[in-house]
């Protein structure tokens, strides 16, 4: 039986993960415990289909990362790399970035495929995922792709304002 433990201190993420897994039409057992410094959401595959279980967990984690991390990563990139833009201009670049991210995957460097691949590889090799640690240390390619999307957004913004 395959299990995965997702560790975080963000109560919104925990609630999101639990409610999302509970809504899925799959046979999993979900538990939520606090050990030492993290709250843990533990998901057990009750059907013993490891490949399908990994795929489902990957999709849910990808969705959580997009919902809870992506906007902050983009904002951080804008603030660090394009600090010379005022706050209103940075907000506009953020909006352009979100519009770009809604494009089909093949137009923006296979963001969805890349993120799924990183998550799936990690959960196949590990039983525990500290979500913040994964984002800080294992998602570099994904963050680089977001940086590229921001760069395209800034160039688009500058082209629009140069008229």
Helices marked H in 24-86:
50-68, 70-81
Domain-wise residue ranges, the chain: 3-161
The answer to whether residues 37 and 9 touch, using CB atoms and an 8 Å cutoff, is yes
pLDDT means per 10 residues, the chain with 163 residues, are 92 96 89 91 89 94 96 96 95 94 82 94 96 96 95 92 73
- Does this model's pTM top 0.85? My answer is yes
Report residue 59 as tokens: 């999709």
Q: What is the pLDDT of residue 60?
A: 97
């Amino acid at each position: 039986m395959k299990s995965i433990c997702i560790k975080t201190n963000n109560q919104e993420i925990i609630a999101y993960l639990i409610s999302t897994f509970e809504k899925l039409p799959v046979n999993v057992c979900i538990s939520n415990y606090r050990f030492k410094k993290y709250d843990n959401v533990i998901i057990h595959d009750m059907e013993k289909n490891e490949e399908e279980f990994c795929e489902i967990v990957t999709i849910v984690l990808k969705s959580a990362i997009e919902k809870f991390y992506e906007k902050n990563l983009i904002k951080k990139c804008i603030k660090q790399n394009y600090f010379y833009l005022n706050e209103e201009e940075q907000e506009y670049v953020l909006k352009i970035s979100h519009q770009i991210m809604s494009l089909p995957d093949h137009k923006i460097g296979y963001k969805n495929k890349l993120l799924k691949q990183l998550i799936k590889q990690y959960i196949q090799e590990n039983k525990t995922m500290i979500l913040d640690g994964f984002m800080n240390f294992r998602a570099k390619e994904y963050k680089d792709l977001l940086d590229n999307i921001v760069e395209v957004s800034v160039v688009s913004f500058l082209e629009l304002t140069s008229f």
